[in-house]
Amino acid sequence: MSVTPTIVWFRQDLRLADNPALTRALAAGPIIPIYIAPTDSRRTTRHDGFHAGGASRWWLHHSLVALDRSLRDKGSRLLVRRGEPATVLRELAEQAGAASVHWNRRLEPAGIATDREVKQALRETGLAVQSFNGNYLHEPWNVLNKQAKPYKVFTPYWKALLAAGIDQDVLPEPERLEAVPGHIESETVDALDLLPTLGWADDFSDWWTPGESGAWDRFETFLDEVDRYHETRNRMDLDGTSRLSPHLHFGEISPRQVVARVRAEHPEALEEAGTEAFLREIGWREFAANLIYHFPQTERENLDARFDALPWENDPDVLAAWQRGQTGIPVVDAAMRALWATGWMHNRARMIVASFLTKNCLVDWRHGADWFMDTLVDADLPSNTAGWQWVAGSGADAAPYFRIFNPVLQGEKFDPEGSFIRHWVPELADLPDKALYAPWEAKPATLQDAGVTLGETYPEPVVDLKASRQRALDAFQQIKDDSH
Ligand code: FAD
């Protein structure tokens, strides 16, 4: 057995269990674990595939601390360095006497480009490089249709993925690790300056525990409820979903582990309503990665080119009102304020606010997507891009352009007692249910009794829902007609 160590470059796989790059490296000898950050992590928002918005950076800080702790528990430690990955890895290989580097692959366009360059640069200096699939059930080039083309529609994609089979042999975490030699220096996670300077994210830790054990605690709690997932998953007022998205994004838990664990408890998981619906959502995560891999331009461009002609209004005041949760539409404001306070938003709420922004307000989906990337703890380029393009109507398997969510009806249906709105928009808390979802339609006396003065204590709607709906329909009809 070789005694030269292998460098394990951690990126979006911040875990010890079911980590193929780590396990395979350990089979060959000792390992040198490293995380590489950009030189200036505060100013760089995009760094080899990782879009480091403010909320993501908060998460990353805590996740790196947790990974270092886990490695130390096993006898090792996480090296943290800043710089260009190829340069950092070359220097480290020299210091550690390493002959090879392992990592788990990423699928974002910029991540792929960086990895390709790094691989070439390292091989040119005689280092061996091996990469693995640690972040998805299947990689996009393995799930193609009969013509060997990528799927653009979810259901056949998911069927094909299931038919290809899901590997259930999750890899165990290592029991002990060899110490990293003391002369190999590391920066501290604090020195990366990832935490926001303003107190914005201070309360995030009330909601989240980044890291591998936090991911498992969350998952185990959710598993007790998974039977009801199909009934509760759309309710914004309930804790009916797993909230695993940031843990999955940072790779603190792998989708393979998720599927294997669900199936261990529910051998007929694909036949039972709750577990089937949950696994299908894991499938949407795979589908989003499939889309960004095969259609990398969709990070910024409409997949459906007809949408290039859409006359977006892009009113900056409307965008700002949306970002601050001051649109005057209670369910939209509740969702946007929840996002700001917790770094997360319910999927139903994401669809509502995205539909409102792109359709009622005619603001280009890219503005919404950028805001999400900056404020979500689960900011994930593939899922975010697919989500926004789907809602805007420009994406794969997209919602038809004429499906414009009515935020009043959506609120009534998916927050039926109004507790989600009342929690996040407390200035409306005393309104009766009837007036809560559309206060601009309430009688003056009702508003007065609840201490609400529209335009003063709570905004008037930034757009008229009915008129803006029609404006959007006309705009969408226009681009459809023009394309014939
Ligand atoms: P659960 O319902 O418990 O689902 C389990 C897991 O499946 C999630 O953790 C997630 O990894 C995956 N998943 C669920 N729904 C989707 C979906 N529609 N697309 C892709 N994966 C899904 N998800 C992100 O992880 N990051 C994003 O940046 C992101 N941006 C979005 C933007 C818009 C406009 C929309 C409509 C959706 C977006 N989503 C994004 C997808 C989805 O809203 C979140 O994954 C989900 O709300 C996370 O909550 P959960 O973990 O409780 O999900």
DSSP 253-275: S-HHHHHHHHHHH-TTTTTSHHH
Residues β-bridged to residue 450 = none
Distance of CA 384 from the midpoint of ligand 1 (Å):
8
Coil/strand/helix, residue 371: helix
Q: Looking at the predicted structure, is the pLDDT value of residue 43 above 90?
A: no
Q: Which amino acid is at 478?
A: Q
Task: State the pLDDT at residue 3.
Answer: 83
Neighbours of 117 (CB within 10 A): 14
Report residues whose beta carbon is within 6 angstroms of any ligand 1 atom: 233, 241-245, 248-249, 281-282, 284-285, 288, 347, 350-351, 354, 372, 376, 378-380, 383-384, 387-388, 391
- Return the best residue to mutate from 59, 208, 285 for the ligand 1 pocket (most ligand atoms within 8 A of CB): 285
Q: Looking at the predicted structure, is the pLDDT value of residue 389 above 60?
A: yes
* Rounded-to-integer distance, Cα 5 and Cα 178, Å: 10
Task: State the pLDDT at residue 85.
Answer: 95
Looking at the CA of residue 376, tell me the nearest atom of ligand 1: 28
Q: Is 314 a catalytic residue?
A: no
Ligand 1, atom 29, residue with closest C-alpha: 384
pTM of model > 0.85: yes
Q: Looking at the predicted structure, is the pLDDT value of residue 254 above 70?
A: yes
The fraction of the chain above a pLDDT of 70, given in percent, is 97
Ligand 1, atom 6, residue with closest C-alpha: 282
Q: Which amino acid is at 41?
A: S
Which of 103, 208, 216, 284 is catalytic? The answer is 284
Ligand 1, atom 20, residue with closest C-alpha: 285
pLDDT tens for residues 318-373? 999 999 999 999 999 999 999 999 999 999 999 999 999 999 999 999 999 999 99
Looking at the CA of residue 345, tell me the nearest atom of ligand 1: 47
Task: State the pLDDT at residue 288.
Answer: 97
Q: Is 272 a catalytic residue?
A: no
Ligand 1, atom 52, residue with closest C-alpha: 243
Ligand 1, atom 21, residue with closest C-alpha: 285
Q: Looking at the predicted structure, is the pLDDT value of residue 411 above 50?
A: yes
Task: State the pLDDT at residue 53.
Answer: 87
Across 46-55, 122-131, 162-171, 450-459, least confident range: 46-55
Distance of CA 428 from the midpoint of ligand 1 (Å):
28
Which of 216, 322, 344, 365 is catalytic? The answer is 365
Query: On the CB side of 450, how many CA atoms lie within 13 Å of its CA?
Result: 24
Q: Looking at the predicted structure, is the pLDDT value of residue 34 above 60?
A: yes
Task: State the pLDDT at residue 40.
Answer: 66
- The phi and psi torsions of 145 (rounded to 5 degrees) equal -80, -175
Q: Looking at the predicted structure, is the pLDDT value of residue 465 above 80?
A: yes
* Rounded-to-integer distance, Cα 366 and Cα 369, Å: 5
Instruction: Categorize the per-residue pLDDT at 49 as very low, low, confident or very high, splitting at 50, 70 and 90.
Output: very low
Q: Is 312 a catalytic residue?
A: yes
415 and 331 in contact (C-beta within 8 Å)?
A: yes
132: left (phi over 0), alpha (psi -120 to 50) or beta: beta
Which of 178, 312, 313, 427 is catalytic? The answer is 312
Looking at the CA of residue 246, tell me the nearest atom of ligand 1: 25
What's the mean pLDDT in 311-324? 97
* Rounded-to-integer distance, Cα 43 and Cα 53, Å: 10
First to last CA, the chain: 66
Q: Which amino acid is at 358?
A: T
Task: State the pLDDT at residue 47.
Answer: 47
For residue 305, give every residue at least 6 positions away whose Cβ sits within 8 Å of its Cβ, in sequence order, or none: none
Distance of CA 375 from the midpoint of ligand 1 (Å):
14
pLDDT tens for residues 422-451? 999 999 999 999 999 999 999 999 999 999
Which of 173, 178, 276, 281 is catalytic? The answer is 281
Instruction: Categorize the per-residue pLDDT at 224 as very low, low, confident or very high, splitting at 50, 70 and 90.
Output: very high
Task: State the pLDDT at residue 469.
Answer: 96
Which of 133, 178, 225, 347 is catalytic? The answer is 347
What's the mean pLDDT in 56-69? 96
Distance of CA 378 from the midpoint of ligand 1 (Å):
8
Distance of CA 151 from the midpoint of ligand 1 (Å):
19
Coil/strand/helix, residue 9: strand
Average confidence score pLDDT of the chain: 94
Q: Between these two residues, 125 and 49, which has the higher pLDDT value?
A: 125
- Return the best residue to mutate from 245, 371, 375 for the ligand 1 pocket (most ligand atoms within 8 A of CB): 245
Distance of CA 347 from the midpoint of ligand 1 (Å):
6
Rg of the chain's alpha carbons, rounded to an integer? Answer: 24
- Return the best residue to mutate from 230, 371, 378 for the ligand 1 pocket (most ligand atoms within 8 A of CB): 378
pLDDT tens for residues 194-209? 998 878 888 899 999 9
Q: Which amino acid is at 368?
A: G
Sign of CA dihedral 152, 158, 161, 167: positive
Q: Is 365 a catalytic residue?
A: yes
Q: Looking at the predicted structure, is the pLDDT value of residue 65 above 90?
A: yes
The token pair at 3 is 């005694």
Angle (CA) 95 97 100, round 5°:
115
Task: State the pLDDT at residue 149.
Answer: 97
Task: State the pLDDT at residue 329.
Answer: 98
What's the mean pLDDT in 262-274? 96
Q: Is 281 a catalytic residue?
A: yes
